[in-house]
Amino acid sequence: MANYQKLNVTGDERVELHDKIGLTGAEISVNFLPAGAAVPFVHAHKQNEEVYIVLEGKGRMVIDGESVGLSANDYLRVSPAAKRQLFADSGAGIRYICIQTKAGSLEGYTSEDGIIG
């Protein structure tokens, strides 16, 4: 068995990577919301923080009642307890990656965890 999994993601659908590439420490999804669309629910998490990486387009996230504008190249971290909902701009869709991981679980950064050779 190879020590890696590779996947090419195309199209305008939501793709959850945990099963497709065998993730064991994070949940990552690649998403697209068309112009004027929204994630159909407000949600929070018990343990997982989320990082949203906006690849293209525009939108906004309502977090605990505050509207935060989003556009390409924005990175947004949301704590587990925050209530959130994502909206695409009425004139443009939004393509983004969402990464979930257990808050407080990072034990070391790349340079501390890496092994040379």
pLDDT at 103 over 90: yes
Domains of the chain are 24-94 (2.60.120.10)
**Distance in angstroms (rounded) separating the CA atoms of residues 87 and 40:** 9
Residue-wise pLDDT tens digits, 53-87: 999 999 999 999 999 999 999 999 999 999 999 99
The answer to whether 71 touches 57, Cβ cutoff 8 Å, is yes
Confidence of residue 107 (pLDDT cuts 50, 70, 90): confident
Which residues touch 43 (CB under 8 Å, ≥6 apart)?
A: 83, 84, 85
Say which residue, 115 or 31, is predicted with more confidence: 31
Instruction: Report residue 114 as tokens.
Output: 């890496």
Lowest pLDDT segment from 7-16, 45-54, 82-91, 97-106: 7-16
pLDDT (average), residues 2-18: 87
